Amino acid sequence: MPPSPFEQAVLPHLNAAYNLARWIMRNDDDAEDVVQDAYLRALRFFGGFRGDDARAWLLAIVRNTCYDFLRRHRPQELADTFDEEMHTVIDGSQTPETLLLRRADQLMVRQALEMLPLPWREVVILRDLEGLSYKQIADVAGIKIGTVMSRLARARARLQQLLASGATGEVAR
Amino acid sequence: MNCSDVRSLVHAHLDGELDLMRQVEIDDHVHQCQACRAIYDSQQMLQSALRADGMYFTAPPRLERRVRAAVHSAATPTRRWHVPLSPWFGVAAAAAAIVIVAVIARPIVSQRMGGDQIAQEVLSAHIRSLMASHLTDVPSSDQHTVKPWFAGKLDFSPPVVDLKDVGFALVGGRLDYVQNRPVAALAYRRGEHVINLFVWPSRSNADVPETFDGHQGYNAISWTRDHTTFWAVSDLNAAELREFVQLVQHRAGA
């Protein structure tokens, strides 16, 4: 049986789907469950898909499925009302942390990224790991392009801070 | 541009989201200003750390098997869909559907009843023809070989034109099946791209002007004239497909 148009269009993006789900869910089993559910949802909605960007379309479904799962099983992770302003890191106060970052190994980068609040983490995943444009990220996450930009800036500043303190901590020990 | 302008645009610059002029302005500034350069460099280093291979989670092979199996069983109409979700999944799904359709799908309004379903069928037939290496039953670039081949196999005689002199080479014809009836499929090549032109008698007397449809990276143009319906499908870009359609119409008198 030849692959259906659905399989042709959507199955090639399995890695993208899993990567996003894994970073949002932060464990393998939940990420796999979510991806399977997301594909079943995508199959149901595929008749209405008229765009040319199957990856972004699928990622939006994966993201929604993740959020539904979190709402049902780990509501506390979404309960922390996310306040853009409260989490603001003022860009002007950034200090060059080139040297410190150089010490950061991959495990530290991974841990730092996992520690970011979800609304920041997901834009970094979509931009830096998945390579989506600001416009695509805005579509997937259902936010404005301006919000994509400010969240990315804040997320990256926070990552720099986390890595710098981690690296300093290592030096202190 | 001053330091604070530059710092607020560092991310957009690194992400390739700025126009060329501002990009150059920032490059110039960063070149001269040590403080800004340090910020730029550290962000760039962070980006490459994030983009390293080890950061990306690749789907395990068992997940691919699982997803394929789930999709297959869900697509089989005799079985109920296995959707282990809460009662208000329907609400969430409906909301998700609205968001997806409104935000991402950029719906193309079909101009005819049933056009969507035909589009899907024709696209599937096009993809099948490429996948099963069964593009042609009668491989020939000669329209005088291809056209008679359909005689006795179809209850109508499709117009067959060669367009090699204008960049669309006829590679042959085959029988296909669309809308529960056998149809003529003519295959053309433009460089690496294959165009399938599906032809069948229209059930209505009305002519229908060209309608454009974009699906999953494929483009389709359909029209009906003189009781004959045509569908041209290809991964070719829309402009070249339109050119192809105009040439077919001109030469076939369709």
Q: State mean pLDDT over A6-32.
A: 94
Shortest distance, CA B175 to any CA of chain A (angstroms): 18
**Which strands, in side-by-side order, build the sheet including B228-234?**
B138-139, B169-178, B181-190, B193-201, B228-234, B218-225, B208-215
pLDDT at B248 over 50: yes
* pLDDT reported for residue A91: 47
Please answer yes or no on whether B131 and A3 come within 8 Å at the CB atom. yes
Asked whether the beta carbons of B42 and A97 are under 8 A apart, the reply is yes
Asked whether the beta carbons of A164 and A97 are under 8 A apart, the reply is yes
pLDDT band of B35, cuts 50, 70, 90: very high
Residues of A in contact with B217 (CB under 8 A): 9, 52, 54
Q: State mean pLDDT over A42-62.
A: 88
Could you read off the pLDDT of A127-172 as tens digits, one per residue?
999 999 999 999 999 999 999 999 999 999 999 888 887 755 544 3
pLDDT at B111 over 50: no
Residues of A in contact with B39 (CB under 8 A): 94, 96
Asked whether the beta carbons of A116 and A129 are under 8 A apart, the reply is no
CATH assignment of the domain containing A9:
1.10.1740.10
Same domain, A171 and A86: yes
Task: Give the gyration radius of chain A's Cα atoms.
Answer: 18
Q: State mean pLDDT over B143-161.
A: 86
Lowest-confidence region among A84-88, B88-92, B104-108, B200-204: B104-108
Same domain, A15 and A68: yes
Q: Give whichever of A4-13, A131-140, B202-211 has the largest mean pLDDT.
A: A131-140
Question: In this structure, is the dihedral angle defined by the CA atoms of residues B166, B171, B173 and B176, taken in order, positive or negative?
Answer: negative
Q: State mean pLDDT over B25-35.
A: 93
Same domain, A87 and A168: yes
* pLDDT reported for residue B12: 93
Q: Over chain A, what is the mean pLDDT?
A: 83
Q: For chain A, how many structural domains are there in total?
A: 2
pLDDT at B91 over 90: no
First-to-last alpha carbon distance for chain A, in angstroms, is: 61
% of residues, chain B, pLDDT over 90? 35
- The Cα–Cα gap between B162 and B165 comes to 8
Domain final position from A22, A54, A79: A79
pLDDT at A102 over 80: no
The larger pLDDT score, comparing residue A137 to residue B212, is at: A137
Same domain, A103 and A116: yes
CATH assignment of the domain containing A156:
1.10.10.10
Q: State mean pLDDT over A64-93.
A: 71
Interface contacts (A, B; CB < 8 Å): 191
Q: State mean pLDDT over B39-49.
A: 89
- The Cα–Cα gap between B191 and B240 comes to 12
The DSSP string of B133-175 is: T---SEE-S-HHHHHHHHBTTBSS------BGGGTBEEEEEEE
Same domain, A145 and A108: yes
ipTM of the complex: 0.87
- Judged by phi (left if over 0) then psi (alpha if -120 to 50, else beta), residue B199 lies in beta
Same domain, A68 and A130: no
Please answer yes or no on whether A101 and B70 come within 8 Å at the CB atom. no
* pLDDT reported for residue A138: 94
Residues of B in contact with A2 (CB under 8 A): 127-128, 131-132
* Nearest residue to B185 via CA among B218, B225, B233: B233
* pLDDT reported for residue B113: 38
* pLDDT reported for residue B186: 95
Shortest distance, CA A27 to any CA of chain B (angstroms): 11
Q: Over chain B, what is the mean pLDDT?
A: 82
**List of domains in chain B:** 3-54 (no CATH), 115-252 (3.30.200.100)
Same domain, A60 and A5: yes
Q: State mean pLDDT over B110-131.
A: 72
- The Cα–Cα gap between B132 and B238 comes to 25
Lowest-confidence region among A4-13, B103-112, B209-218: B103-112
Task: Classify B194 as helix, strand or coil.
Answer: strand
Domain final position from A79, A102, A136: A79
* pLDDT reported for residue A168: 55
In sequence order, what are the beta bridge partners of B198?
Answer: B185, B231
Q: State mean pLDDT over B25-41.
A: 92
Is-above-0.95 flag for pTM?
no
Best to test chain B binding among A20, A98, A101, A114 (most B CBs inside 10 Å):
A98
* pLDDT reported for residue B100: 55
Please answer yes or no on whether A129 and B56 come within 8 Å at the CB atom. yes
pLDDT band of B203, cuts 50, 70, 90: confident
Residues of A in contact with B4 (CB under 8 A): 92
Shortest distance, CA A121 to any CA of chain B (angstroms): 12
Same domain, A46 and A70: yes
pLDDT band of B97, cuts 50, 70, 90: low
* pLDDT reported for residue A35: 96
Domain that holds residue A170: 82-173
Residues of B in contact with A14 (CB under 8 A): 59, 63-64, 67
First-to-last alpha carbon distance for chain B, in angstroms, is: 60
Residues of B in contact with A44 (CB under 8 A): 81, 93
Domain final position from A36, A61, A79: A79
| Nearest CB neighbour to A160, from listed B35, B46, B83 | B46
pLDDT at B17 over 70: yes
* pLDDT reported for residue A51: 76
Nearest CA in chain A to B73: A40
pLDDT band of B108, cuts 50, 70, 90: very low
pLDDT band of B254, cuts 50, 70, 90: low
Nearest CA in chain A to B103: A139
* Nearest residue to B70 via CA among A162, A134, A36, A20: A36
Same domain, A91 and A149: yes
% of residues, chain A, pLDDT over 90? 57
**DSSP 3-state helix, strand, coil percentages of chain B (rounded to 5)?**
45, 25, 30
Please answer yes or no on whether A96 and B128 come within 8 Å at the CB atom. no
Same domain, A31 and A90: no
Nearest CA in chain A to B40: A96
- The Cα–Cα gap between B199 and B224 comes to 10
Residues of A in contact with B59 (CB under 8 A): 14-15, 17-19, 35
Same domain, A51 and A16: yes
Shortest distance, CA B253 to any CA of chain A (angstroms): 31
* pLDDT reported for residue B59: 94
Residues of A in contact with B70 (CB under 8 A): 36, 39-40
Same domain, A73 and A135: no
- The Cα–Cα gap between A119 and B78 comes to 41
Please answer yes or no on whether B68 and A11 come within 8 Å at the CB atom. yes
